[in-house]
A and B are shown apart, each in its own frame.
Chain A
Amino acid sequence: MKNTNSQKIRLGLFVIIGTMLFVLAVYLIGQKQNMFQKTFTISAYFQNVNGLQKGNNVRYSGINIGTVKNIVMANDSTIKVDMNIEEGIIAHIKKNAIATIGSDGLVGNMIVNIVPGKGTDKVISDGDIIASYSKIGAEDILSTLSVSSENAAILTSDLIKITDAMIKGKGTLAVLLNDTIMAKELRQSVTNLKVASRDASNTISEINQIITSLKTNDNTVLGMLLHDSISGQNLKVIVSNLEASSKQIQNVIANIDTTIVDFNSSEGAYDYIVNDTTLVNSLKSTLKNINEGTDKFNQNMEALKHNFLIRGYFRKLEKQKEKEERKKQQ
């Protein structure tokens, strides 16, 4: 069972090829993680890294240019992300570049995207910090969506209630939709409104014409008032006269006022008549006595009529009266 040379060679080849494959795999993996090439480090601050991890790719305009080196909390609300970038790419990244965190495809790993900034700026150097822009994360979108869906659910439930009510004929809208008579009446109302508005517009145009004619025609009162200067002067005079008259009237009224006051306040006959109650009482008793006197006088006169001395005179008067009536009748 000796080892032959061919066996040794075969074994050697086996070991060498196996080892080379392993080294090649290690090299390729290392190269993907920028372990065997010169790199420089840049950083960016984010509010939320959305699950970014060490070793995730960094892309510049879609090309893989490095990996995430480190993620540390800078303070209680800011996260510092250090990135290893290939040295060969340094000439292309400017200081105004902006870093964003996105995902590689819909369900892929998180990546840092570096986007070129607007305008020109100096080339970036080792240890620089670039600006960052936080996109809306999937969680934020989902939370907004959940609120929207809740609102949509409430809206749809309300809509169902409304449509139910409308189908059952409840409410104004349902009446509007279902009541054919009302629709006809509405149509009629609209037609009437149309006619009314047309008439109104005609009326307005007529009024306009009248006003225009009034304005332009000097023979009318308005035209005269607007255009006739003589009449205007006359009117002014009248108005001034009226003013003077009103002043005089005012004076007269004042005089009358004072007279009335004097009349009220003086101790003349008026005051005696108006305010003295004893006079009224005596007048009342006098009138009463007069009434009684006249009654008694009437009685005396009736008694005289029946007296034989005067009775003949009254009979003559009656006969004369009867004769006149007969004549009238004939």
Chain B
Amino acid sequence: MEIGELTYFTIRCFKEVFKKPYELKEFLRQCYSMGNRSLLLVGITGFIIGLVLTLQTRPTLMEFGAVSWMPSMVGISIVREIGPMITALVCAGKIGSGIGAELGSMRVTEQIDAMEVSGTNPFKYLVVTRIMATTFMIPLLVIFGDAIALYGSYLVEHLKGDVSFALYFNQVFDSLEFGDIVPATAKSFFFGFAIGLVGCFKGYYCKKGTAGVGIAANSAVVFTSLLLFVIDFIAVFIADIFYDL
């Protein structure tokens, strides 16, 4: 039943996107609060992931005498999978729960009902702008996250292996192909859309009471995280078919 409601919610969202008036100011405000305010979190997470991934992989590669393959390996794993997934999960926790809690409390305090009464379309103003903002901001955050993670990896390689900046990034981009970066970017749009959609859905249809707000925020994160993995699987599956042909 929930899946049916979510589908209906998605269709309504697509319909409302192209309807006037376009809530551009609200959209930009959401972009700022979701994009800029998540950058630090995403940056720190990405940096640590880059460091840890390199530190953990380095001994194994050293056993095989393949440390020179480190930039290629880390580059491909971060750009293809780890960067988008970690960023999306972090954003699901921060943005998804925020949206769920915000819209839930608005529903509980009958602000959404008040908007409907006053003639403002609450779905367009609250839901569409947020979904659009996450859809466009998550890919940008993923790019930042990737760049910072690669820089973190470079720092480890530079300190331990005395690898120059130019050599490291030359090797990274030498191993990367469009088949790595295009599907990763495409799926991060879907990640953003999923985060916004589930957060808004859970908040918009929040049950009465303060407990409902908590449940909405919590279930938004849990459901989004699950959905992210499903989307990731489908995206990898499709990319594999397209780029293997």
Contact = CB atoms under 8 A, between A and B. Distances in A.
Determine if chain A interacts with chain B: yes
Interface of A: 1, 3, 7-8, 10-11, 14-15, 17-19, 21-22, 25-26, 28-30, 32-33, 55, 107
A11 B181 contact: no
A35 to B, nearest CB: 9
B158 interface: no
A21 B35 CA distance: 15
Interface of B: 25, 28-29, 31-32, 35-36, 39, 66, 139-141, 143-144, 147, 169, 173-174, 176-178, 181, 185
Contacts of B25: 3
Contact of A25 (B29, B32, B39, B173): B173
B174 A3 contact: no
Contacts of A1: 29
Given A8-B28, A21-B147, A26-B181, 10 more contacts: A14-B36, A17-B144, A18-B141, A19-B140, A21-B144, A22-B143, A25-B181, A29-B177, A29-B178, A29-B181
A32 B173 contact: yes
Contacts of B32: 3, 7-8, 10-11, 14
Contact of B177 (A11, A14, A15, A55): A55
14 contacts: A7-B36, A10-B36, A11-B32, A11-B35, A14-B39, A15-B31, A18-B139, A18-B144, A19-B140, A21-B143, A21-B144, A21-B147, A29-B178, A55-B177
Nearest to A23: B143
Q: Is the interface of B mostly helix, strand, loop or mixed?
A: helix
Contacts of A55: 177
Contacts of B177: 29, 33, 55
Contacts of B181: 25-26, 29
A122 B39 CA distance: 57
A104 to B, nearest CB: 10
A11 B29 CA distance: 9
Nearest to B35: A14
Contact of B140 (A8, A18, A33, A107): A18
Contact of B29 (A7, A22, A29): A7
A164 to B, nearest CB: 42
B173 A28 contact: yes
A3 B36 CA distance: 13
Nearest to B33: A7
B225 to A, nearest CB: 23
Given A25-B173, A29-B173, A33-B177, A14 B140 contact: yes
B173 A22 contact: no
B64 to A, nearest CB: 9
Nearest to A19: B140
A18 B141 CA distance: 7
A95 B136 CA distance: 52
Contacts of A32: 173-174, 176
A3 B144 contact: no
Nearest to A7: B32
Contacts of A25: 143, 173, 176, 181
A33 to B, nearest CB: 7
A5 to B, nearest CB: 12
A242 to B, nearest CB: 101
Task: Pick the 6 closest A-B CB pairs, nearest first.
Answer: A18-B140, A28-B173, A11-B32, A7-B32, A21-B143, A18-B143
B39 A3 contact: no
Contacts of A21: 143-144, 147
A11 B143 contact: no
Contacts of B36: 7, 10-11, 14
A65 B58 CA distance: 31
A8 B185 CA distance: 24
Nearest to A17: B144
Contacts of A17: 144
A7 B36 CA distance: 9
Contacts of B173: 25, 28-29, 32
A7 B25 CA distance: 12
Contacts of B28: 3, 8, 11
Contacts of B174: 32
A187 B176 CA distance: 77
Nearest to B185: A22
Point out which of B25, B35, B36, B143 has the most chain A C-beta atoms below 10 A from its C-beta. B143
A1 B125 CA distance: 14
Contacts of A18: 139-141, 143-144
B52 to A, nearest CB: 22
A29 B176 contact: yes
Contacts of A8: 28, 32
Contacts of B141: 18
A10 B140 CA distance: 14
A1 B177 CA distance: 43
B29 A15 contact: no
A19 B147 CA distance: 12
B29 A3 contact: yes
Contacts of A11: 28, 31-32, 35-36
